[in-house]
Chain A
Amino acid sequence: MQTEFTPLAALLGGALIGFAATLLYAGLGRIAGISGMLTQVLEQPLGRGWRLAFLVGLVAGAGAWFAFGPGVPAPRAGFPLPWLLLAGVLVGFGTRMGNGCTSGHGICGLARLSRRSLVAVAVFMGAAILTVYVLRHALGLLP
């Protein structure tokens, strides 16, 4: 589906995300990496509290915008379930193996000027762009 370029909302939302990541680093010295936090909340009883608090906040903060924000688009529907599940498994597997996702490597890793994170971001961006090209244009499998 076509989407509109929304520069102001993107910059404002981005700044909020950057501020939130900085707040967590300044307050607790921790990195706001969502994939890692999720894994540790489920698997590491020790030091679970702040991670759980962050993730509850994440769900609630976005939920509040969905409920009360202006012009929120309806959730996507009709995306083929087998593709969705395959994508979820790949994202779960890959972020654990590669130790981070868009938040941990993208926002925090780059902010820490980490070479590892810079490589990770280049690789997952490149792989994602190629995937969209192949699925949408070369094979025409997904809209």
Chain B
Amino acid sequence: MNRFLLALAAGLLFGLGLAVSGMTNPDKVLNFLDLFGRWDPSLALVMGGALAVSVPGFAWVRGRGNSVFGDALADAPPPRVDGHLLAGSTLFGIGWGIAGYCPGPALASLTRGGEAVWFVLALLAGSQLARLFASRR
């Protein structure tokens, strides 16, 4: 099995998981965020289910020291929390709270057409704005 097939398989499972979990339904996401209204706790269990697998899984891979194909593991992120992380995450959270889409579910919904397509186009534009903003500083 080569690297591309593995990445394709991981992507297929990730997309399937997003759809099965209901997280491609932005109403479900918004209702999770609506603690003081129509609260739907599903997203917490999606996160919990994911971490229940990925925490021990990642620990096992770290214990191996490299990937199955022999690649070095992606560098651990620097522990430093900076203004970009805080400001970027805040803006992302506001956008997420407006429409109920984060990047994964929005992309995963592309085959349904409609609003997901508009959202992804706007997301790409926002990403380019951030690139411009970073290069001007």
Tell me the smallest distance from the CB of B54 to a CB of chain A, in Å: 4
- B contact residues around A84 at 8 Å (CB): 99, 115, 118-119, 122
Chain B interface mostly: helix
Q: Which of A5-30 contact B (CB under 8 A)?
A: 5-7, 9-30
Interface range for B = 35 or more
Most buried by A among B18, B28, B50, B130: B50
Residue contact A92 to B123, C-beta cutoff 8 Å: yes
A-B contact count (CB 8 A): 487
Picked from A18, A28, A86, A102, the residue with its CB within 8 Å of the CB of B98 is A86
- A contact residues around B98 at 8 Å (CB): 83, 86-87, 90, 131, 135, 142
Picked from A57, A65, A107, the residue with its CB within 8 Å of the CB of B47 is A107
CA distance A117 to B95 in the complex (A): 18
Bits for A84-96, please: 1 = Cβ < 8 Å to B, else 0.
1111111111111
- B contact residues around A105 at 8 Å (CB): 89
Residue contact B45 to A102, C-beta cutoff 8 Å: no
Picked from A95, A110, A123, the residue with its CB within 8 Å of the CB of B51 is A110
Residue contact B79 to A115, C-beta cutoff 8 Å: yes
Picked from B11, B21, B72, B124, the residue with its CB within 8 Å of the CB of A10 is B21
Tell me the smallest distance from the CB of B88 to a CB of chain A, in Å: 2
Can you report 19 residue pairs joining A to B where beta carbons are below 8 Å apart?
Answer: A1-B27, A7-B45, A10-B22, A16-B14, A17-B50, A18-B57, A26-B57, A50-B3, A54-B10, A58-B104, A58-B107, A75-B109, A76-B115, A85-B118, A93-B88, A95-B88, A119-B86, A125-B93, A127-B94
